Structure 1
Amino acid sequence: MVLDIFTKNESELEQKLIDVRRNLHQEPELSNEEVKTTLKIRKWLEEADIDILDLPLKTGVIGEISGNVAGPTIAIRADIDALPIHEQADIPFPSTVPGVMHACGHDFHTAVILGAAYLLKKRQENLKGTVRVLFQPAEETGHGAKAILASKGLENVEAIFGLHNDPLSELGVLGTKEGVLTAGVDRFEIEVKGKGSHAAKPEEGIDPIIIAAEIISRLQTIVSRETKSSESVVISVTQIHGGNTWNVIPESVYLEGTVRTFKEEIRKTIPAKIERVLNGVAASYGGEARLIWHPGPPSVQNDKEWTLFAKRIAVQNGYKVVEVEPTAGGEDFAFYQQKIRGAFVNIGVAGEYGLHHPKYYLNEEAILPASYYFADLAEQALVELYGQSLSAKYIPQV
């Protein structure tokens, strides 16, 4: 039975979206494992008679709503994956999957963009082109956007918009800025090799723990002594593993961590600088160290014109628009922006705890206004593109 969105009043639509969000919250799925989530989203789109693109995707889905007038294509995006965190929030609909929860609010994002899709379907006849509603997998791994791009699901898209919730901002607040919004995010592993020995006779071995400790300390000189004070680089070692008993110096130590940068030209220099530190420190002790580099998403770079446009539509929708500072957090929406102009915004959800916290929670009153905002943003973006001189090709010939 097709969902009768054309007769639904605002309170009914809001409850529908809250139910969607809670359903997803109770059955979270990790990156690239969002099989049930994908099936649910397809069902909710089909209920509203929204077309679904046939794409080679294991998880994730793209719906499409086209007006009666041939015109440009734009996209609005939500991410759908959860995190490997055990939920501690005291709510009546907690995660039923041990060790997995929507601690980043992707269930909120999905409900918002689904709501926008319902509203756009209701306005379909007036759309000056096509809106693709994108529900992307695997944002938390930093590579889900690449899978969407590889599927060709965003071909011919001329503008793209995305969101993230901000639990530390109040309801009715929308934050964004032109230019750099998030950091480029890379992951590294370091394998340190020495020579094992009895702890009582360290002179007979090469202690990888000493080497690793100095490497950790020396890595920070890349930030403090090799980067301009006006630039931002974060190097964090987040794991260290070595040894298995109290009286033996181990053969090796393993380190893992992350690098956050805002400028691509700086980002490209970091691996070589880390390798120089590793080789110098390890060699000074007679050991070895190897860097394994895992490049992640670049920084989100909001297009100037579309950011101003997104702000204007936000004000029209009653949001208080604030200029935000760039964050060292990552967001693979940046991969889309390398190919498609667009803007990313933060929506206040008045939570008590920050993102990725086991007690993370949000105010569901933020869902419906955000759905209206993204529906209006998409509809008006089509009007904007349709009216541009380069879009004269969309005007029907008579």
Structure 2
Amino acid sequence: MNTLDFINQHKEDLLKTYHDLHGLAEPSWGEEKTSGYIAEKLQNAGLKVKRFKDHFGIIAEIPGISNQVVALRADMDALVQEVNGVVRPNHSCGHDGHSTMVLYTALALAESGLKPEHTLRFIFQPAEEKGEGALKMMEDGALENVHLLFGTHVRPVSELPFMKASPVIIHGAAGTIRGIIKGRQAHAARPNEGINVIEAAASLVQNLKDIDLQTDVPYSIKMTQLATENEATNVIPETANFALDVRAQSNKIMTELKQRTAHAIEMAADRYGASITWSMEEFVPAAALNNTAMSMAEKAIGEILGEENVVPVCISQGAEDFHFYTARNPGLAATMIGLGCGLTPGLHHPEMKFNPDALIYGTRILIQTLLTALQET
């Protein structure tokens, strides 16, 4: 059976799978039911499936003649956020759609009886929202013998309209800085006896606003959390916890921004005599562009949607831990395909929605991308 015919015949099954995964919605490192659901379908289709004792990631393969590997990656976890007053896992980033497309790409190629020159590997990754899943999958051999890697992500209408796709998403680097400011408690009537951590935090906010990197590359740093344990209104608190959201559209600018932030923190501490300890968490690097992988994805999109619906570049202010795969493996040819799907009002919005029909042509694009990769390598 032709692989694209498989998708036509199993359209309703594909959409049902998407709705099933949407309903499961499990948080990072807790994707137990999602993983089990996907693994069962892969095993029933005859793929070689590897699972892990300490996380819910999956590696599935269609063996090839050589041990060289062309890989396709999906993420499985849901975001934890407040929805209608209730904090719960919610698929507002489209990972349920990504898993559906990669799963049906694997099922279609397995059903076709294809005997590929290179092994086809399907990576279902946990904990993308934590920025940790790609690192864990690499530890467990997900990239062993991989020379080509593809991923996909649904995009908002502001980036890609419905029925359009891009061979590359240029994500920026992003991270969270968490810190603790230590001062000295005092009665508010005698402020000279204390070290006011709130004033130190205010100084830090101003220092961050004064950072000017003299670059055209977009970047931002903002304080997004500030809290003390103080319940009394007439006491200067001793401790404050803060968080900064840090973003830059290139890894080079991110490095410079981190250096300037360290200086801003040091100045705020010195000005008030406070102690500030901090660390960067949930860091993900910026995209690395690879012409080989992009060319294959562009050709596949053109064949499925028509060349007029290929958008050469999709630029996103967001971040993705997919880019750890290339950051830690500079020689790896990889790209993330952007899929226009009518997505509104935006990624991570609690009421995010998109047209599920996009998953049909999105899956066809992924199938064609892998077939193109097999033909050209």
8 A contact 1:185–1:298 mirrored in 2: yes
8 A contact 1:30–1:84 mirrored in 2: yes
Among residues 192, 204, 208, which one is paired with 2:193 in the alignment?
A: 204
Inter-CA distance 8–316: structure 2 relative to 1 (3 Å threshold): closer
**1:91 alignment partner in structure 2:** none
| Structure 1: tracts of 5 or more residues without a match | 89-96, 386-398
How much has 1:268 moved relative to structure 2? 2.6
Please give the alpha-carbon distance, in whole angstroms, between the structure 2 residues aligned to 1:366 and 1:34: 24
Aligned counterparts, 1:1-398, within 5 A: 10-53=7-50, 58-67=55-64, 69-70=65-66, 72-87=68-83, 99-168=88-157, 169-177=160-168, 181-222=170-211, 224=212, 227-242=213-228, 243-294=230-281, 296-319=283-306, 320-324=309-313, 326-338=315-327, 339=329, 340-385=332-377
Please give the alpha-carbon distance, in whole angstroms, between the structure 2 residues aligned to 1:284 and 1:8: 68
Inter-CA distance 293–38: structure 2 relative to 1 (3 Å threshold): same
How much has 1:270 moved relative to structure 2? 3.4
Please give the alpha-carbon distance, in whole angstroms, between the structure 2 residues aligned to 1:113 and 1:56: 23
Q: How big is each residue's C-alpha offset from its partner over 1:24-62, in whole Å with a ceiling of 9 and x where there is no partner?
A: 111111111111111111111112121113556521101
8 A contact 1:192–1:288 mirrored in 2: yes
Q: Which moved more, 1:39-48 or 1:242-251?
A: 242-251
Inter-CA distance 162–267: structure 2 relative to 1 (3 Å threshold): same
Please give the alpha-carbon distance, in whole angstroms, between the structure 2 residues aligned to 1:126 and 1:292: 49
CA RMSD of superposed structures (Å): 2.3
The aligned length equals 368
**1:391 alignment partner in structure 2:** none
How much has 1:336 moved relative to structure 2? 1.3
8 A contact 1:53–1:153 mirrored in 2: no
How much has 1:111 moved relative to structure 2? 0.5
Alignment TM-score, normalising by the size of structure 2: 0.91
| Structure 2: tracts of 5 or more residues without a match | none
> 2:224 aligns to what SS in structure 1?
strand
Q: How big is each residue's C-alpha offset from its partner over 1:126-160, in whole Å with a ceiling of 9 and x where there is no partner?
A: 52221101111110111100111110132101100
How much has 1:275 moved relative to structure 2? 2.5
Q: How big is each residue's C-alpha offset from its partner over 1:4-41, in whole Å with a ceiling of 9 and x where there is no partner?
A: 99998645411111111111111111111111111111
Please give the alpha-carbon distance, in whole angstroms, between the structure 1 residues aligned to 2:189 and 2:314: 52
Inter-CA distance 323–199: structure 2 relative to 1 (3 Å threshold): farther
Please give the alpha-carbon distance, in whole angstroms, between the structure 1 residues aligned to 2:19 and 2:43: 19
> 1:153 aligns to what SS in structure 2?
coil
Letter in 2 for 1:240: L
Letter in 2 for 1:304: N
Letter in 2 for 1:46: Q
Please give the alpha-carbon distance, in whole angstroms, between the structure 1 residues aligned to 2:280 and 2:343: 35
Letter in 1 for 2:277: R
Please give the alpha-carbon distance, in whole angstroms, between the structure 2 residues aligned to 1:367 and 1:7: 13
**1:393 alignment partner in structure 2:** none
8 A contact 2:4–2:364 mirrored in 1: no
Q: How big is each residue's C-alpha offset from its partner over 1:271-327, in whole Å with a ceiling of 9 and x where there is no partner?
A: 332222222222222222222222612111120121122111100111511134532
Letter in 2 for 1:16: D
8 A contact 2:69–2:118 mirrored in 1: yes
> 2:233 aligns to what SS in structure 1?
coil
Alignment TM-score, normalising by the size of structure 1: 0.86
8 A contact 1:354–1:360 mirrored in 2: yes
> 1:75 aligns to what SS in structure 2?
strand
How much has 1:379 moved relative to structure 2? 1.6
> 2:153 aligns to what SS in structure 1?
strand
8 A contact 2:67–2:145 mirrored in 1: no
Please give the alpha-carbon distance, in whole angstroms, between the structure 2 residues aligned to 1:190 and 1:130: 45
- As a proportion of its length, which structure holds more strand? 2
8 A contact 1:79–1:139 mirrored in 2: yes
Q: How big is each residue's C-alpha offset from its partner over 1:224-245, in whole Å with a ceiling of 9 and x where there is no partner?
A: 2xx1232332112111102323
> 2:305 aligns to what SS in structure 1?
coil
8 A contact 2:106–2:122 mirrored in 1: yes
Inter-CA distance 9–125: structure 2 relative to 1 (3 Å threshold): closer
